[in-house]
Structure 1
């Protein structure tokens, strides 16, 4: 069976993007065929139909409406698909001119992939959407990354060992690699898509030319001295963007080099354990970012996320950020006014990107206008103050701002084709044709009234459709009367109506249609002129947007510090770590919501002569993990430029942050909980330097007691003697508390508890000293284990402890002497005596009691209770 012209076209276009689902535009729908349709129907939960046959087989088909395609695209991208969008490149009328069997020209206009999204509906407004490329040249690695929705473009040297941590820091959605590389699993473990390209895409010489052409410069030296691996990574990234956008490159800022030494190093496991930007459920809720984000703009939210993800390790930068927050706190009324103005500032970065890719609409131009107006208003508020931020970039585009203000209506429509974008009075020709168009509609209404009066047919209507244009319509009962009038020319007869036209109506229609089309043409031209003017000023607009984001983060952090009573930390080049009254920002926020207080704790690590380690013991549920995490989060907050949840804080710059708190099976890679724990611990011991802060919780708990104790013991000694770092080490192995007397840098700490009638009360207070036991049985009781299990556990524990005191008998011998669980009678519940209180209360009618009778009743109930107890 021969292939139809349309199917032949589909297959030809599909061959250009064999690894992507092809959205094939047919009128108001994107259709998918063959295997694409099968995959999309399952992923989108839409009906799978068929359209004809190919090679004797039914052609599977499904489709989605064009107007709601973005929602479907979002679902497909999140499920790991790539989508090629093929649009109609000509009007159907043009195809008909070539012959009745000609097919409308179509072609791929973009490839939609996880790292190349630009639409607001497909993006998180408060998070970057990074695309990255990794290159290696002669053993030297480099990582380039860009957010094409904002124009941000960065590059850094990156040996393989640091690829995972860097990708985790950036939260990259898609990574371009050399075809055939073996680093795919590292990337996929972080949830990013892997995109292979041929080695030629990473050629550094070709990349140099590609980058010079992109930025229209003769040399890249003005941007920095880039190595061959860096050039290769940047070149591959730019080539891929050009490939996916079909030649329409977005506005990209000149690449900025980033040095790893300038940032606190945080690996992927630590980010996950500390929940810096993502909570336990995968979203923002419950994360550090969730707890501190008080920004009021999308760009400010993205900047805050970058700082949380990559705290600075440069004293000058940290101090400048603290100065900015301090200033905003001291000028609290002005800071509130700044935040009020910022709430009116739209996302200029992403509006600029869409305009550069020709995907922008009238509202993107309005976003630039409104953003420049907000920038000017903020400059007028701040420029004469002592604000530590440079706000000069907020002004300088008054001409563009005024043109946009005059040209655009206050609330433009979503689409340019909807019309009504340009404000009255901006263009004289447009005003003229609009008048003709609008008055023409009024004339049509007047003409209808004239015809009704002249014919006496009250039901006569003048209507319009796309086939006949304007026509006079009346019911069939009046058709003969209309035909008798020479003015009315018959056009069409339907079941119940007859349609006519007149020479007068046809001439008026021509004028109206020409005016409407001409008005659209003029608005299209004005839109393109404004778009070009905005793109010409893109560098200045980007700079203004960046300044707005910095003002937002500064005032947001000040609002946080004021509202939560946070203090300014002292950050310097020492190795101090002294926190007074420290709190966990996320836990405290959750407790405050429930009306419960948070118990603050101090931390003091003296590391002048070497290692400084606190060995923490105490029961589960007492708050050990909270104390460990809060100190790590305080370090992150201090070095990202925020005030911290404490009464005071002195922190020597932390170069690396490691946290191994909690673990789970990695079933996909065949690794047990214990194996995951050991891999993460090995990474810490192999990488931590003397300026690192290490947080370890329950090392060795996933194996036999003596194995676990020996591993934990050796790990602590290595941290002390080899890494010589600052560390908080929580354990249930009380034998390890003896190390405090053997190692100069180790001190014991414990979480205070109180026992009451066999139960344990957690005080959540960290004190000096060591715990004498873990209170595991009491915690098990609190968790609701059956009383028989709790009682049996007490018996076994007592036997083991007694045997140890009496000469260290082997546990097996002790347990062999205990009766079996089944032989131990179940404890009987204590008898409850009937006090008569319940029966008496059933006779009481509270509303009928006088105050005196209520008091007498209380005495009566008290007597009944005392009698039952006696």
Structure 2
């Protein structure tokens, strides 16, 4: 819907609204340009009365982004000044849309009343200043944030070592929840790290933004902000950190490298600038150790659809299937854990213990879910209050959160022998002061307004002075009603009304036919004429003026007293902030453990056994997303087993080579095993009858096909780039999922690539792997590679049709049933008939010796392992004959010599045969 922006009546003196003479700026426009120059690169929301106005290029950008009409106001350098505006009361909606498109906005407010400006002279302009810079990574407002997702600001700093090594320092902060993390990574790992953190905004130095190695990646992000070198100054980083947290040294924050401190200080500096001096409270920076989480590259995250489907939707993703949480904080924490599964067996086990405890206690689990539903989002309420954007409902959230903590503790005390995770949660829920809850309960009314400026949020009886002022205000209004009745009786004008507006204040209003009577003696001694309209005449009286003054004073004083109480309660909340945030995080942990238990019970998930071995044994495994979709349709999922554990006598994991037709379920089988490993290391139960998972340190998935036309990459090129990344990075602790490698090129090229890839996975990488293919020739490799196991997806032919049974069994397929699948897809019968004819002719050519020839005679497919390469094998007999033939020079030989040479070659060939 197109919105026509109607400029508000100017709040400044007449000079501000006057048209600008050619070549000369009005005082208002001079002020605008001065403020705009101080905030380059930002859209300036310039407050004028009830509207935020935008001018020049800002207006053109906003008009297109928001779909509002572009108008004009005066001239500058002989050209019309473009202008558009949005109402202040609806500004959050427009901000949300601008931020979603990657824009940053400076909000410029009127810092004084227009009446104060008029006192300085007719040409004086209302004082204005930027009170906040709104960016994608620094949001706190409830209606601008996704309640179920974190809103991270990520700072990236870089340092080059003397040896040429290159490291990146990272700091990511969610000011809406006070979370603050730091870490390091290599430039090659940045893509995977960005995919895991999923920041809403990234800040980097100008130099890094223009870097040849990673600049393209940074510039492709939806919201990246390059900043000047001083923001990433490592020499001042520690001082800036100490200043923000009001400490003498950063030693109390634990181990922190200089590079991490540089990134952390940059993030804090940016927050300081965007919040214009209002510093949101943050937790001390928590360092993330290298290798503490399961490494997942961006392609794998996309292929496995962990938090978003390939179309970008949450619905249909793994997160959507697993999310049984009932709180926003719990949903955010679940997404964090799913994005970064752990590699530490001890921590994983503690999480699983908590889930097991709730699985075993059905009544307790359901009772706790009801309590958790009443737990508000305390962390974000605290953040809004801390930066002056909170309201009475945020105070009520803290009150209700502490009350919910008491309810949860009452339930948890009934748990026999609670595990360590639950003990820690209970200790955290005890921390907030119950005095704060009692104080807020006494202070806050039952029905609370959204904004504190609306008043009426303090409970009657809490403050005697406020009650007295309210009584005076309310009684004065009753006096006005009594005055109206008395004036109507004295004038015998029954239609006489006492009304109010912002221009005249209180006034007496009668119809035009009665107006003359009030302006004539004796009534004109009481009624003073104010305004004549088309159908009404308005008057005032001395008595009405006195009452109006009392009402105005009482109303303003009552609101002032309420705002003082609000500030006092906010200070109490800030003083208890650390304890309240700890309890808020405890609620999230409790919600996640309880939700994973409900998921396990509802869908018959099993507790996995996670250890430090290289085991990978799954019985009755299912795909969690597909299974839930089938259940909704009244169907059941066919479970399958897999075992990639090292075979006896081997120290490395197995590779399963899976053959079978399209649509038989190979890709689903591949993905479900990867998801089961990921869910286990996240600390949740898994969709299987039994599972033992040796910790996976890196997860690779190359499933599906897509091109990258923007970077000039075909589908096959993307496939090869992703495969190369896997083969170059996978260690024996990795889990590799590969589907249809080599299918994007010519048959024998593709077969060769797939063949060599399997050998490299087996000999060089030594990782646990699932490899699905239609190249049936590859199954012959199991005769030479001891850790390669052939499996196939079972199908059955019935009267010319193929029935997919979705069972994975030992063995190999000899057909792909592609024509049957094509028929199911609806290809014309003539095409199907012709395809069958062509296939019959091709199958008549015996290709059964192809694989055997490769195994027996062509070691050229062998891939060098990480061990030193062996000496090349001696040339075969045929190669020796060709070498001898190549030495002959017929033009330099006599006929006799040529004949002797021919007899010699013939004799040699006969001896070899």
Aligned positions of 1:267-666 closer than 5 A: 267-383=297-413, 385=415, 386-388=417-419, 389=422, 390=424, 391-395=426-430, 396-483=432-519, 484-485=522-523, 486-607=525-646, 609-666=651-708
Deviation at 1:361, TM superposition (A): 1.3
CA distance in 2 between counterparts of 1:805 and 1:196 reads 59
SS of the residue corresponding to residue 329 of structure 2 reads helix
CA distance in 1 between counterparts of 2:387 and 2:749 reads 60
CA distance in 2 between counterparts of 1:487 and 1:657 reads 88
Deviation at 1:807, TM superposition (A): 9.1
Q: Tell me which of 181, 184, 193 is aligned to 2:215.
A: 184
8 Å CA contact retained: 2:102, 2:222: no
8 Å CA contact retained: 1:187, 1:193: no
Is the aligned partner of 1:16 residue 2:38?
yes
Q: Tell me which of 773, 776, 782 is aligned to 1:734.
A: 776
CA distance in 1 between counterparts of 2:601 and 2:404 reads 25
Q: Tell me which of 240, 250, 256 is aligned to 2:286.
A: 256
Is the aligned partner of 1:146 residue 2:173?
yes
CA distance in 2 between counterparts of 1:333 and 1:187 reads 50
Corresponding residue of 1:211: 241
CA distance in 1 between counterparts of 2:144 and 2:801 reads 52
Deviation at 1:722, TM superposition (A): 1.0
Corresponding residue of 2:804: 762
CA distance in 1 between counterparts of 2:137 and 2:452 reads 27
Deviation at 1:383, TM superposition (A): 3.5
Q: What CA deviation, in whole Å up to 9, does each residue of 1:632-670 have, x standing for no partner?
A: 000011110110111111111111111000121101100
CA distance in 1 between counterparts of 2:156 and 2:390 reads 30
CA distance in 2 between counterparts of 1:24 and 1:710 reads 65
Aligned positions of 1:630-779 closer than 5 A: 630-779=672-821
Corresponding residue of 1:161: 188
Q: Which moved more, 1:733-742 or 1:100-109?
A: 100-109
Is the aligned partner of 1:72 residue 2:94?
yes
Q: TM-score w.r.t. structure 1 length?
A: 0.91
SS of the residue corresponding to residue 498 of structure 1 reads strand
CA distance in 2 between counterparts of 1:28 and 1:624 reads 61
Deviation at 1:55, TM superposition (A): 0.7
Is the aligned partner of 1:83 residue 2:84?
no
Q: What CA deviation, in whole Å up to 9, does each residue of 1:432-472 have, x standing for no partner?
A: 00011111111111111111222211011111122222222
CA distance in 1 between counterparts of 2:821 and 2:284 reads 58
Corresponding residue of 2:81: 59
8 Å CA contact retained: 1:611, 1:721: no
Deviation at 1:351, TM superposition (A): 1.0
Q: What CA deviation, in whole Å up to 9, does each residue of 1:236-272 have, x standing for no partner?
A: 1111111111121211111000113211111111100
Q: TM-score w.r.t. structure 2 length?
A: 0.87
Q: What CA deviation, in whole Å up to 9, does each residue of 1:25-68 have, x standing for no partner?
A: 11111111111111111111111111111111111111111111
Task: Kindly tell me the number of residue pairs found equivalent between the two proteins.
Answer: 807
Corresponding residue of 1:196: 226
Q: What CA deviation, in whole Å up to 9, does each residue of 1:214-240 have, x standing for no partner?
A: 112111111112111001100111111
8 Å CA contact retained: 2:614, 2:653: no
Is the aligned partner of 1:128 residue 2:150?
yes
Q: What CA deviation, in whole Å up to 9, does each residue of 1:654-712 have, x standing for no partner?
A: 11111000121101100111111111111111111111110000111111111111111
8 Å CA contact retained: 2:242, 2:250: yes
SS of the residue corresponding to residue 827 of structure 2 reads coil
CA distance in 2 between counterparts of 1:85 and 1:71 reads 14
CA distance in 1 between counterparts of 2:119 and 2:298 reads 60
CA distance in 2 between counterparts of 1:768 and 1:350 reads 53
CA distance in 2 between counterparts of 1:277 and 1:694 reads 20
SS of the residue corresponding to residue 260 of structure 1 reads coil
Pair 1:611–1:331, CA change in 2 (3 A): closer
CA distance in 1 between counterparts of 2:65 and 2:517 reads 60
Deviation at 1:498, TM superposition (A): 2.1
CA distance in 2 between counterparts of 1:40 and 1:434 reads 44
CA distance in 1 between counterparts of 2:561 and 2:838 reads 89
Corresponding residue of 2:894: none
8 Å CA contact retained: 2:615, 2:653: no
Which 5+ residue runs of structure 2 have no aligned equivalent? 1-22, 851-913
CA distance in 2 between counterparts of 1:509 and 1:645 reads 71
Q: What CA deviation, in whole Å up to 9, does each residue of 1:110-136 have, x standing for no partner?
A: 222221122222211000111111112
Q: What CA deviation, in whole Å up to 9, does each residue of 1:717-747 have, x standing for no partner?
A: 1111111110000011111101111111110
Q: Which moved more, 1:694-703 or 1:18-27?
A: 18-27
Q: What CA deviation, in whole Å up to 9, does each residue of 1:788-810 have, x standing for no partner?
A: 111111111111110236999xx
Q: Tell me which of 225, 230, 251 is aligned to 1:221.
A: 251
CA distance in 2 between counterparts of 1:43 and 1:418 reads 32
Deviation at 1:491, TM superposition (A): 2.4
SS of the residue corresponding to residue 792 of structure 2 reads strand
Deviation at 1:188, TM superposition (A): 4.4
CA distance in 2 between counterparts of 1:193 and 1:466 reads 43
Deviation at 1:205, TM superposition (A): 2.9
Is the aligned partner of 1:175 residue 2:202?
yes
SS of the residue corresponding to residue 154 of structure 1 reads strand
CA distance in 1 between counterparts of 2:715 and 2:138 reads 36
